[in-house]
């Protein structure tokens, strides 16, 4: 972005007026101004504003910066978003770069059309608000009141009324000289089969939908007389200014209230959001007639540190909550779930039981794993196949968690709640990632055929073959751990070999020693696509194990070792591991032969097979 444009925006933005515009009480103090810091709780003003330099500084929390920094912090925007916000506030056109005059002209036309649509929608919002107050629409106002929408709520959320009839908006727009084609693009008029236009919203309570900057970009209309043949809500179609999968109802009002520990409160509909805000829960938002999307979650992640789901307890609501939890956890956003009795919603609870009832429900919200485990048990049952299906679905829902340590911990917890072996879920996740990686490799090979790389069991004729490490050759009581520790070093030293080891070693086949647990942990991270963090994560997780710490902190095999040396060592270790497994099984057979009633013929036959493999 051009520095000249940025400087122009800063020069046109008085920092004192900007801070005041967000409802902060500012008072003059010498050449500067002071106020209570909007970024942390305090009793005495420590937030200083210097209008001459356009700079703020808090002596309490040390927040400081320019007007752009203030908007970024206060509104949870990135730099470009804050700059554009201030530019529009100051009435400065946002420059765009184009490769040709034709592109520039097209961009200007599109920008001009969007601005006209925004102005039209703002006018329409005022029209709907006025209609709700007209005497002939007293029934609509009475209905709004019966749903708990008092005068403050009507004004804050700018609720209005679309009169019954097919041409009310049409006649209003014609009187104001708004082009009909613009009303169609804005979603206020609709074309019929004869190419004639008519009002989309008729006899509906109107809720304006805002973008993140508080501009009206669409509407949601609700009927006030229940009719099974008519949709309860209809929303504006998508337009040049409205994409429903990108917006959350009430986000422009709730964003600044999500910054504390309470995070975001995610409801199902507009009435729930309004009810929550009326109850003082002003961190509530809702998707716009669609399921929560990845774009919604990314927006919430920038604004909040946690989220609480408040969905209906009917089957559709429970499915939506389960799916939403997967998206929230994948984005690294801790989540909880409010349990609401079936057939009720936040709006009804507040109207019938009062705001405190919903606050209490939020206070008693459930951990996401408690909720998931209960829902999965209900859906799949407690039979062996049911638990397996529940575990598979849990693994699928949790598999996208980006933090490998959190993922491992959650898989452990959900397995225990579902009465499953945690290693089974770890194995399943690793196999899933292995299959995905294999598919990706096949696609890459089909796109660009290349010479196949040697497997772990192959050696290269030109590569020097080092002598195997003594621990690998010696069949000591710690031989299995020694093998696993070497494989651990190789896994964190070379990403390609780490993936091959992850496919070759099932988690259930590793020892229960710290060496086996550490190797399994690292290979789980490899399958999750987080090889780069594996070494540090293992050091943090297994700091109580001297052998693991020594293997990782002072490795005999490291990234400085040649790939040939690492591959040969890995091949030797896998061969030694197989030999140790056979020896252990042979000892088990010898002990079993001593037991009364042993099936000697079968055991001896197996023992002969093991000896033949050596």
What pLDDT sits at residue 452?
43
Q: Would the pLDDT of 78 be above 50?
A: yes
What pLDDT sits at residue 489?
92
Query: What mean pLDDT is predicted for residues 509-523?
Result: 83
Query: Among 176, 169, 175, which residue's Cα sits nearest to residue 202?
Result: 169
Q: Where in the chain is the domain with CATH 3.40.1360.10?
A: 251-364
Q: Would the pLDDT of 110 be above 70?
A: no
Question: CB-side exposure of 61: number of CA atoms within 13 Å?
Answer: 15
Residue with tokens 């709907």: 128
Q: Please report, rounded to a whole number, the percentage of residues in the chain having pLDDT higher than 90.
A: 24
Tell me: the pLDDT tens digits for 444-498?
566 544 444 444 544 333 333 333 333 333 233 468 888 889 999 999 888 888 8
Q: Would the pLDDT of 427 be above 60?
A: yes
Q: Across the chain, which distance is largest between two alpha carbons, in Å? A: 102
Separation of alpha carbons 497 and 488, rounded Å: 11
Residue with tokens 């497997």: 455
Question: CB-side exposure of 312: number of CA atoms within 13 Å?
Answer: 13
Query: What distances in angstroms separate CA 585 from CA 147, 184, 449, 485, 581, one per listed residue?
Result: 72, 77, 43, 22, 6
Query: Among 572, 575, 568, 567, which residue's Cα sits nearest to residue 494?
Result: 567
Query: pTM of this prediction?
Result: 0.60
Query: What distances in angstroms separate CA 478 from CA 482, 492, 514, 577, one per listed residue?
Result: 6, 21, 12, 12
Inter-residue contact 211 to 81 (CB < 8 Å):
no
Least confident of 43-57, 184-198, 304-318: 304-318
Residues in contact with 452: Cβ distance below 8 Å, sequence separation at least 6, in sequence order: none
3-state helix, strand, coil split of the chain in percent (to 5) is 55, 10, 35
Supply 469's token pair.
């490490």
Topology adopted by domain 474-613 = DNAb Helicase; Chain A (1.10.860)
What pLDDT sits at residue 68?
92
Inter-residue contact 189 to 206 (CB < 8 Å):
no
What pLDDT sits at residue 509?
66
Terminal C-alpha separation, the chain:
69
Question: Which of the two residues, 525 and 97, has the higher pLDDT score?
Answer: 525
Supply 408's token pair.
């491992």
What pLDDT sits at residue 130?
95
- Kind of pairing between the strands at 335-337 and 307-309: parallel
Question: Across-strand partners of 34?
Answer: 27, 48
Question: Across-strand partners of 154?
Answer: none
The winner for highest mean pLDDT among 132-141, 324-333, 578-587, 605-614 is 132-141
Inter-residue contact 490 to 557 (CB < 8 Å):
yes
CB neighbour burial string for 96-105, b if at least 16 within 10 angstroms, e if fewer: eeeeeeeeee
Q: Where in the chain is the domain with CATH 3.90.980.10?
A: 102-242
Q: Would the pLDDT of 355 be above 90?
A: no
Topology adopted by domain 251-364 = Dna Topoisomerase Vi A Subunit; Chain: A, domain 2 (3.40.1360)
Q: Please report, rounded to a whole number, the percentage of residues in the chain having pLDDT higher than 70.
A: 87
Query: What distances in angstroms separate CA 199 from CA 80, 108, 139, one per listed residue?
Result: 38, 29, 21
Query: Among 438, 558, 439, 452, which residue's Cα sits nearest to residue 500?
Result: 438
- Looking at the domain that runs over 3-90, which CATH code has it been given? 3.90.580.10
Mapped onto helix, strand or coil, the DSSP state of residue 125 is helix
What pLDDT sits at residue 15?
92
Least confident of 97-111, 353-367, 490-504: 97-111
Question: Which of the two residues, 53 and 138, has the higher pLDDT score?
Answer: 138
Q: What superfamily does domain 102-242 belong to in CATH?
A: DNA primase, catalytic core, N-terminal domain (3.90.980.10)
What pLDDT sits at residue 467?
33
Query: What distances in angstroms separate CA 426 from CA 395, 413, 430, 433, 434, one per listed residue?
Result: 8, 12, 6, 11, 12
């Amino acid at each position: 972005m051009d520095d000249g444009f940025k400087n122009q925006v800063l020069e046109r933005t008085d920092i004192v007026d900007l801070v005041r515009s967000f409802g902060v009480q500012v008072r003059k103090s010498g050449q500067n101004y002071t106020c209570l810091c909007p970024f942390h709780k305090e009793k005495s003003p420590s937030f200083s504003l210097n209008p001459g330099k356009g700079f703020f500084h808090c002596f309490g929390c040390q927040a400081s910066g320019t007007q752009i920094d203030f908007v970024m912090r206060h509104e949870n925007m990135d730099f470009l978003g804050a700059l554009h916000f201030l530019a529009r506030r100051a009435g400065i056109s946002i420059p765009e770069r184009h490769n040709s005059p034709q592109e520039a002209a097209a961009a200007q036309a599109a920008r001009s059309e969007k601005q006209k649509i925004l102005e039209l929608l703002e006018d329409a919002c005022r029209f709907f608000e006025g209609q709700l107050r007209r005497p002939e629409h007293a029934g609509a106002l009475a209905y709004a009141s019966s749903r708990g929408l008092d005068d403050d709520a009507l004004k804050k959320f700018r609720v209005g009324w679309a009169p019954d009839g097919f041409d009310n908006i049409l006649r209003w727009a014609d009187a104001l000289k708004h082009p009909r084609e613009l009303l169609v693009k804005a979603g206020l008029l609709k074309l019929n089969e004869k190419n004639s236009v008519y009002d989309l919203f008729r006899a509906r309570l109107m809720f304006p939908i805002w973008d993140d900057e508080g501009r009206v970009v669409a509407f949601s209309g609700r009927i006030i007389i229940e009719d099974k043949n008519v949709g309860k809500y209809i929303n504006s179609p998508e337009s040049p200014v409205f994409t429903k999968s990108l917006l959350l109802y009430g986000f422009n009002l709730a964003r600044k209230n999500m910054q504390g520990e309470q995070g975001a409160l995610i409801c199902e509909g507009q009435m729930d959001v309004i009810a929550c805000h009326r109850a003082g829960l002003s961190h509530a938002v809702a998707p716009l007639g669609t399921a929560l999307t990845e774009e919604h979650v990314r927006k919430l992640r920038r604004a909040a540190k946690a989220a609480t789901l408040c969905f209906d307890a009917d089957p559709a609501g429970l499915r939506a909550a389960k799916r939403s939890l997967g998206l929230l956890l994948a984005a690294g956003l801790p989540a909880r779930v409010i349990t609401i009795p079936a057939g009720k919603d936040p709006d009804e609870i507040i109207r019938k039981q009062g705001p405190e009832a919903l606050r209490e429900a939020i206070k008693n919200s459930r951990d996401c794993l408690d909720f998931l485990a209960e829902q999965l048990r209900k859906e799949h049952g407690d039979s062996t196949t049911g638990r397996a299906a529940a575990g598979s679905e849990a693994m699928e829902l949790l598999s996208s968690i980006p933090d490998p340590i959190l993922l491992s911990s959650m898989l452990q917890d959900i397995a225990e709640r579902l009465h499953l072996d945690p290693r089974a879920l770890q194995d399943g996740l690793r196999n899933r990632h292995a299959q995905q990686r294999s598919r990706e490799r096949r696609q890459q090979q089909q796109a660009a055929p290349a010479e196949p790389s040697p497997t772990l069991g192959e050696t290269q004729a030109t590569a020097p073959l080092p002598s195997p490490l003594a621990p690998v050759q010696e069949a000591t009581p710690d031989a299995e751990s020694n093998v696993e520790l070497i494989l651990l070093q190789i896994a964190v030293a070379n990403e390609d070999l780490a993936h091959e080891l992850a496919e070759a070693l099932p988690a259930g086949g590793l020892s229960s020693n710290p060496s086996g647990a550490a190797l399994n942990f690292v290979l789980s991270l490899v399958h999750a696509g987080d090889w780069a963090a594996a070494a540090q994560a293992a050091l943090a997780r297994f700091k109580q194990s001297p052998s693991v710490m020594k293997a990782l902190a002072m490795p005999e095999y490291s990234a400085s070792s040649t790939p040939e040396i690492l591959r040969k060592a890995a091949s030797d270790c896998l061969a030694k591991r197989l030999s140790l497994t056979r020896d252990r099984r042979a000892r088990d057979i010898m002990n079993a032969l001593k037991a009364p009633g042993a099936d000697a013929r079968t055991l001896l036959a197996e023992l002969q097979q093991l000896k033949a493999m050596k």
